A and B are shown apart, each in its own frame.
Chain A
Amino acid sequence: MKLNARLCTLLLGIAVLNSGTTFSAENGGTIDLTVTNGTKHLKLPVVPAEEFRVFRTTDLSLPFTPAAPGTVTGYDWLQPAASGFEFFRVEVQPKSPVAVLNANLLSKIAYGSTPDDLDRLAQIGADAYIQEQLAPETIQETLEIDRVIPSTGDWQYVTTTGTASSGSLYVYLTQPGECYLDDVKLVRGAVAEVGANVISNGDFETGLTGWIVDPIYSNSVVVSTVQHAGASSLHIIGTDAGSSSGTSIRRANLSVTQGQVYTLSYWYKPVTGTRTPPLVVRLSGDGIRSTPGTLATKLADGTGNLADLTAWHALHAVQSKKQLQEVMLQWLENHFVTQQRKSRDYFDGRVPDDTEDAVATNLEFRELQHWRAALQNPNVTFLDLLTISAESPAMIIYLDTVNSRGNGSNIANENYAREVLELFTYGVDNGYDQNDITVLSRVWTGWSVRLVDHTNIFNPFAPQSTTLLPGATNLGRTDNLDGVWTFVYRPENHNNTTKILFPGRTVPTRFGAPYAGRNYEFRVGGSAGTNSNWQQVTATGTATSSTLYLYLSGAGDCFIDDIQIVPGTIPGGGTNAVRNGDFENGITGWTVSANLSGSRVQNQQVYSGSGALHLVSTSAGSSGSTSIRRADLGLVNGQPYTLSYWFKPGTNLNSTLTMRLSGDGINSTPGGGTNSIQEGYQVLAHLADQPFTQEFIAVKLCRLFVHDNFQVGYDFTDPNLSEEGKLVRACMNAWENNMPKGQIRKVLAVIFNSQLFRSQDGTMQKVKTPFEFVVSAVRALRAQMQDGTYTADTDGYGLVSPMNRMGRMRLFDREEPDGYAESGVPWISAGTLTERLRFAQALLLANGASGKNDAANSNTDPIRLLKAKLPTADWNNATAVANYFLSILYPSEGKANLDEYRQLAEWYLNTGDDGVSQNSFALLGNTTTAYDTRVRGMVAMLMTFPRFQEQ
């Protein structure tokens, strides 16, 4: 039902005195009007509404006038019956479109609203917010979670405040390794080093007294040569990864009061180098947990593991003002999905033991940071983002390109070729077939990874690192070497044939102008080249004969000029052994087989001089009897020679040129070599802006930002194209008509300005993914207080397990290449809903309460929030408190639609913990536990409703 009009007449009913007869409305359908026991009962329509207004008249020739108030509860209007005929009309006052749009923006281009965002958006307006979010580079923000502490190798101070969760303290490294530790202190309160230190001998002045050292740390010693203060410090030496009791250096039975605030502090120092050690100091139960160097430092150093990256990513989603950027980063991560675990498997044996997680995580982190950087560019295109994914070692490993070979008789792995079409660009069954996948798979052969020196991180031709790790000796094993794993190109694995993609294919008519009928065939590599210019081809090898063969792998033609074979390894660097290699003397000296008898030396297409060979083949050649050849080179077998020639594709070249010595000592086809890396980039550029890609990506973005009912396959020429189809088309137009093509911001702007996005059609039509659910739950109650603290917060780590339980959503670690679903069906079952509800409830539980583990280290304080936002007089007003939380949890809903929720919330506030007894909220002391419990319970209740699953 469309409710664009500010005031909408919906229905008309006639009540007949005391009879219960109902009549139908003249527009907008019917409503029930019943009269029983002297009461009129009007069933109000369940439509988006701020307010329902009831009008009456006794005679249709007279105007309607407001009915006497009656009683409205939910969708029921009741009034004592009067005598005589009455006609009723109900008017629906919709919620203000501005408020709806603001709510839509925060639920879609942000990870849900925060109380502060709602206030801010009401001030600056939707359009300003959209502009700002589309240009994240203009948003000034410095987040603590992004702070990288440049390590100097000197002593560093660390302090963390938290709530004591136990009396057991664990110290360990998450990887084998070592560092120094000194002056460990744990004091009551939020100020470091003020008050009694509950850790005796935390300064290691009396050796290891009081400390329990588990076996993997048995090499650790207290040393007097290095110390922060006093005479000694602890030199931690771990042979394996630590994690808790049994694999740590630890204290038991510390005299702490559980549930109270304590502050931990200590000093640490790397043993060698400046890299921050992967040190953890924490209480059992994680009430206080400290890892030096900040999350960002660990991730930048390459020591962070998957949990660190997930937490960091989630914290950005919770905290960052650049909300759209975070939404887009998650979308990119999920669209170009990779699996951290697959990289971990790959690195097993290739990196030092127990560092697989960190090395694999680093690939995911770098990929994410590349996208983040790209999104700062106002003109960033889909091709830019696609290219980052293609070059990401995580992707190269995930979809098996890493070992794919197409040289010789090797058959390339099709995995990436399939998914780049099916999932990353065109969409399934949209413009390609199996043959295209097979051909495309050859393009990616050679795209691989290698451990290189840090300075070579962006050099795809870099050799393997030769820097040994401390204590390592074997240069032949990558787990002995220092460096960084990065994308490299291995031309020796590449398939150098000509690849013809989408042969003869044209864009289907359903795409309409300007796309329909476009030929999108694409030739790349081998003898096809990518342009029709002359190109030089070189190959070095060892002479096996003095006979040179030229032939094509099938029918076709091409041009050849200036063939040289010289001693040594430098093209043209010596006396040419190929007489008349420049075809200045016609075909003299060359023997031409029958299948090449159409070949001519001509002067229209030459590289230099006045003659070049136009090689024309009717069928495949292979050697002496099917080639153009000469056998008088006079080479010395076993000696090195270099072949070079100039090559230009012909008009009908579907096959590959081979030029080789008999015996294959030198064997050359155009293409190959380091230049063949370009084939991949050229293919990406071709795929990125095809209408299939435009459509598929536009559909996915519309599903992300509007609702799930967008499909690939619209007939864009249909005059009755749906609103959804029209929006997809508008996105495609923005993609196609701006230069460069494929600018993401242009496409997003179309969506955000569309009526589908801005109206009720785009309101709460989608189900949150587990990630969106946990992040939005924290944000919903997160307001900044005057002292800079927040009324809701999380450490990020505590969101990992809940997301897993809500349907196995493991960020950066999806098994299947289709990414996590946007639609609700795969996420919502009885079991996963239970997990969602438990999370919301645990989130609202006070810290330390039983059941809190379901939302560990994620805390909310709705009482502090309401006291900051409501006047003191309302703190014990159940209606005011209920309305406030309804307004921040369900900001897009009209008051009338929330009426029954408000009643339920008030019932909750006014009912004892037994769920039965009346217990007035107004009479609760607003600093009591009972008040705290009542408010938390009510807010948790609202967040467990289906309504909060939607966005």
Chain B
Amino acid sequence: MKNFNILTRRDFLSHAGKLGIGSALASLVDIPLVAKRALAQTNALGLNGKKVLFIFLRGANDALNSVVPVQDPAYYTSRPNIAIPMDPGANYTATGLADFPVNTDPNAPTFSYPYAIRLGNGFSALHPSLKFLAPLYNSGDLALVHRVGYPRQSRSHFDSQIYWENGNPGNNVSKDGIFYRTILESGLANTAPLTGVSFQSSLPLLLRGSQAAMTNLSDPNRYSLLGIPNTTPGNAKADAAIKLGSGLPFPHKLSRDLLALQYQNMNSTMELFASLTANNGPLSTAGNTYVDDVNTDGDTSPYYLFPTTNARNGGHALHANNPAKYVVPTSAYGFIDDLRAAAVVLNKTDAIIAGTEIGGFDTHSNQGGVTGSHANLQRSIAWAMYALKKYFTNYSDKVDWNDVVVVTLSEFGRTTIENSDVGTDHAEAGVMFVAGGAVKGQNKGNPTGVFGGSPGDTVPWVPGATGSMFQASSRYLKRSIDFRSVLGKVIRDHLGATQQQLDRIIPGYTVPTEALKNGGLSTRDATQIMGEPNIV
């Protein structure tokens, strides 16, 4: 038996060097992050250790029932059946910290508070299902960016999701995604093993593009190969054979360099995933033991951070399997599992951007108010943010909570006025949730964590029957911030893109008529907007 010439690291790098990509590889493969940072000595995009986790709320989240304009009287007149009532005992005009309605009785249902949660900005409030956002808000780790949209808003899910993902409103033929371009600009797209990754049914447009393939895992637990027989030793035999065979020398072919590189990436990534999965590792189902560091929500024990079973869902197991003690609906387990995978991958690998999606927000009928289908959906958003903060704080490895910005996207908001089916229809401006240790929320660089959601804004929220909630037309909330300004701010000031890079990542970013950076008149539809919110 001959000893096979496995492509050595040196061979590989010299091979890669011929492709003109050796330098990037040399700084990224198999080098500890600390050393890599030192090596890079840069704040450059992709190399500064900063990361983004995205969550796309598919179907269009009803922003007005997430961050509720309780001081706009038109809100209550427009939504007689689904409005979130104010707590008669709370002063919503007072400023200061947000309320966090923690249960005082451990046996009380998790979501027992039936009112809009006072945010302390004197104007708006949170849906009670979002109560776990309150601690993030109060520590300044949360920005609630309201009235976000883009010029000439499409009310088609189809088109509007394309615009949010390609960052190119009005152009539904643009073929690549905003986060794809971000990674492409980092120069790492075809060199590092894992750069952008999603955990959902298939790769979202956000990460798609023609010059590099990002990774999607429809099931975080299937990132391994099979053997024949499909047993542990059988798989090991197959893996060993593939490693040997994929490194054998071969007459040059045009695609061989690409394949060699990506086989290498695959092998490194798979080893990485195997190490994360093996021995009940952090990515394995059994390794999902992450818990809160305090007794959660006034209960007697800390809760699990990533509930994927009833037993691990909030205080369910602590209280005789009481479903009222759930923190997320049982239908969210798939989403939570994907979210966990995205978090673990950001924490344990050099991936720069990871994310997932959650569907069901197209609430045309019976969406409910304090309780109901929309309330249930929102529980997952809030708990996701809460859990991510705790995870990146308590289980920090390659990054910590200060390095990660979590951002939600949703294609549009919903109609101001409820419809005859006690639901809401497609409309315009919506809300983005942006969280992270680096976020400048309440008392952390900003007097409030609400952006675009009060009459004190540069482009003020105008209450009343002819106010902001009806300005885009009779039933549509008008935008005051472009979603591209939010993402642009995060990509430049957090991820480290230069302005020049950002101009390529978000086409037209500094075109004055778009007013994305500094605000002003967006001329495409003659709308005053505020420019970049100071969120990071």
Tell me the A residues contacting B by CB distance below 8 Å.
46-49, 73-75, 341-342, 345, 415, 418-419, 707-709, 760, 763-767, 804-805, 807-808, 815-818, 821, 824-834, 837-838, 841-842, 844-845, 849-851, 854, 897, 900-901, 903-904, 907-908, 911, 913-915, 933, 936-937, 940-942, 944-947, 949-950
Complexed CA–CA distance, A74 and B249 (Å): 9
Complexed CA–CA distance, A260 and B289 (Å): 41
Listed residue (B258, B268, B269) with the most chain A CB atoms within 10 angstroms of its CB: B258
Complexed CA–CA distance, A764 and B222 (Å): 30
A46 proximity list for chain B (CB < 8 A): 249-252
Given contacts A75-B249, A830-B265, A831-B214, 17 further A-B contacts (CB under 8 A): A74-B249, A765-B253, A765-B255, A767-B258, A805-B202, A816-B173, A817-B173, A825-B213, A830-B193, A834-B225, A837-B225, A849-B228, A849-B229, A851-B230, A900-B248, A911-B237, A944-B245
A807 proximity list for chain B (CB < 8 A): 203, 213
Contact between chains at A913 and B237 (CB < 8 Å): yes
Contact between chains at A946 and B175 (CB < 8 Å): no
Picked from A707, A825, A946, the residue with its CB within 8 Å of the CB of B190 is A825
Complexed CA–CA distance, A709 and B265 (Å): 24
**B207 smallest CB distance to A (angstroms):** 10
User: Given contacts A825-B211, A829-B213, are A805 and B244 in contact (CB under 8 A)?
Assistant: no
B230 proximity list for chain A (CB < 8 A): 845, 849-851
Tell me the B residues contacting A by CB distance below 8 Å.
1-2, 4-5, 156, 158, 162, 172-173, 175, 190, 193-194, 197, 201-203, 205, 208-218, 222-231, 233-234, 236-238, 240-242, 244-246, 248-256, 258-260, 262-263, 265-266, 268-270
Contact between chains at B228 and A841 (CB < 8 Å): yes
Picked from B5, B193, B210, B260, the residue with its CB within 8 Å of the CB of A825 is B210
Contact between chains at A766 and B245 (CB < 8 Å): no
Contact between chains at B215 and A933 (CB < 8 Å): no
A419 proximity list for chain B (CB < 8 A): 173
Contact between chains at B265 and A829 (CB < 8 Å): yes
B266 proximity list for chain A (CB < 8 A): 830-831, 833-834, 837
Contact between chains at A824 and B255 (CB < 8 Å): yes
A933 proximity list for chain B (CB < 8 A): 228-229
Contact between chains at A854 and B226 (CB < 8 Å): yes
Complexed CA–CA distance, A828 and B212 (Å): 8
Complexed CA–CA distance, A345 and B162 (Å): 15
**B155 smallest CB distance to A (angstroms):** 13
Contact between chains at A913 and B229 (CB < 8 Å): yes
Complexed CA–CA distance, A38 and B190 (Å): 45
Complexed CA–CA distance, A903 and B259 (Å): 22
Contact between chains at B250 and A947 (CB < 8 Å): yes
B209 proximity list for chain A (CB < 8 A): 826
Question: Looking across the interface, which residue of chain A has its beta carbon closest to that of B172?
Answer: A415
Contact between chains at B238 and A937 (CB < 8 Å): yes
B215 proximity list for chain A (CB < 8 A): 829-832
Picked from A817, A937, A944, A945, the residue with its CB within 8 Å of the CB of B237 is A937
A341 proximity list for chain B (CB < 8 A): 158
Contact between chains at B228 and A845 (CB < 8 Å): yes
User: Given contacts A833-B266, A838-B225, A941-B241, are A946 and B254 in contact (CB under 8 A)?
Assistant: no
Question: Looking across the interface, which residue of chain A has its beta carbon closest to that of B176?
Answer: A816
A824 proximity list for chain B (CB < 8 A): 255, 258-259
Question: Looking across the interface, which residue of chain A has its beta carbon closest to that of B228?
Answer: A937
Complexed CA–CA distance, A824 and B201 (Å): 22
**B191 smallest CB distance to A (angstroms):** 12
Picked from A708, A804, A950, the residue with its CB within 8 Å of the CB of B259 is A950
Contact between chains at B213 and A827 (CB < 8 Å): yes
Picked from A73, A708, A915, the residue with its CB within 8 Å of the CB of B236 is A915
Contact between chains at A937 and B226 (CB < 8 Å): no
Contact between chains at A944 and B202 (CB < 8 Å): no
Interface pairs (5), CB distance under 8 Å? A415-B172, A767-B259, A807-B213, A832-B215, A904-B248
Sorted from nearest, which 10 A-B pairs have the closest CB atoms? A831-B215, A915-B237, A829-B213, A937-B228, A946-B259, A841-B226, A851-B230, A765-B254, A830-B266, A830-B265
**B4 smallest CB distance to A (angstroms):** 7
Listed residue (B208, B236, B250) with the most chain A CB atoms within 10 angstroms of its CB: B250
User: Given contacts A833-B263, A907-B1, are A766 and B225 in contact (CB under 8 A)?
Assistant: no
Contact between chains at B245 and A904 (CB < 8 Å): yes
Contact between chains at A949 and B259 (CB < 8 Å): yes
A815 proximity list for chain B (CB < 8 A): 162, 205
Complexed CA–CA distance, A46 and B252 (Å): 8
Question: Looking across the interface, which residue of chain A has its beta carbon closest to that of B205?
Answer: A815
Contact between chains at B212 and A913 (CB < 8 Å): no
Listed residue (A707, A766, A946, A949) with the most chain B CB atoms within 10 angstroms of its CB: A946
User: Given contacts A765-B253, A829-B213, A904-B241, are A804 and B202 in contact (CB under 8 A)?
Assistant: yes
Complexed CA–CA distance, A49 and B227 (Å): 32
Complexed CA–CA distance, A828 and B263 (Å): 9
B210 proximity list for chain A (CB < 8 A): 818, 821, 825-826
Complexed CA–CA distance, A941 and B209 (Å): 30
Contact between chains at A945 and B251 (CB < 8 Å): no
**B59 smallest CB distance to A (angstroms):** 14
User: Given contacts A807-B213, A941-B242, are A914 and B237 in contact (CB under 8 A)?
Assistant: yes
Complexed CA–CA distance, A345 and B209 (Å): 24
**A883 smallest CB distance to B (angstroms):** 16
Complexed CA–CA distance, A43 and B44 (Å): 43
User: Given contacts A825-B212, A834-B223, A914-B233, are A897 and B2 in contact (CB under 8 A)?
Assistant: no
Contact between chains at B214 and A829 (CB < 8 Å): yes
Picked from B233, B253, B255, the residue with its CB within 8 Å of the CB of A913 is B233
Contact between chains at B213 and A828 (CB < 8 Å): yes
Question: Looking across the interface, which residue of chain B has its beta carbon closest to that of A44?
Answer: B249
User: Given contacts A765-B253, A913-B234, A950-B259, are A945 and B245 in contact (CB under 8 A)?
Assistant: yes
B156 proximity list for chain A (CB < 8 A): 345
Complexed CA–CA distance, A849 and B216 (Å): 26
Contact between chains at A826 and B228 (CB < 8 Å): no
A837 proximity list for chain B (CB < 8 A): 225, 242, 266
Picked from A48, A345, A829, A942, the residue with its CB within 8 Å of the CB of B251 is A48
Complexed CA–CA distance, A949 and B258 (Å): 11
Listed residue (A842, A844, A941, A950) with the most chain B CB atoms within 10 angstroms of its CB: A941
Contact between chains at A816 and B197 (CB < 8 Å): no
Question: Looking across the interface, which residue of chain B has its beta carbon closest to that of A828?
Answer: B262
Contact between chains at A831 and B223 (CB < 8 Å): yes
Complexed CA–CA distance, A950 and B214 (Å): 20
User: Given contacts A821-B210, A841-B225, A941-B241, are A828 and B248 in contact (CB under 8 A)?
Assistant: no
A816 proximity list for chain B (CB < 8 A): 173, 175
Question: Looking across the interface, which residue of chain A has its beta carbon closest to that of B242?
Answer: A944
Listed residue (B226, B234, B258) with the most chain A CB atoms within 10 angstroms of its CB: B226
Question: Looking across the interface, which residue of chain B has its beta carbon closest to that of A942?
Answer: B245
Contact between chains at B228 and A767 (CB < 8 Å): no
Question: Looking across the interface, which residue of chain A has its beta carbon closest to that of B263?
Answer: A946
Question: Looking across the interface, which residue of chain A has its beta carbon closest to that of B232?
Answer: A914
B249 proximity list for chain A (CB < 8 A): 46, 74-75, 900
B214 proximity list for chain A (CB < 8 A): 829, 831
Picked from B193, B208, B216, B253, the residue with its CB within 8 Å of the CB of A764 is B253
**A166 smallest CB distance to B (angstroms):** 20
Complexed CA–CA distance, A845 and B236 (Å): 16
Question: Looking across the interface, which residue of chain B has its beta carbon closest to that of A808?
Answer: B202
Contact between chains at B258 and A897 (CB < 8 Å): no
**B257 smallest CB distance to A (angstroms):** 10
A709 proximity list for chain B (CB < 8 A): 254
A850 proximity list for chain B (CB < 8 A): 230
Picked from A834, A844, A903, A946, the residue with its CB within 8 Å of the CB of B246 is A946
Contact between chains at A831 and B217 (CB < 8 Å): yes
**B20 smallest CB distance to A (angstroms):** 14
A901 proximity list for chain B (CB < 8 A): 245, 248
Complexed CA–CA distance, A946 and B255 (Å): 9
Question: Looking across the interface, which residue of chain A has its beta carbon closest to that of B157?
Answer: A345
Complexed CA–CA distance, A903 and B2 (Å): 8
Question: Looking across the interface, which residue of chain A has its beta carbon closest to that of B162?
Answer: A815
Contact between chains at A915 and B173 (CB < 8 Å): no
B256 proximity list for chain A (CB < 8 A): 946, 950
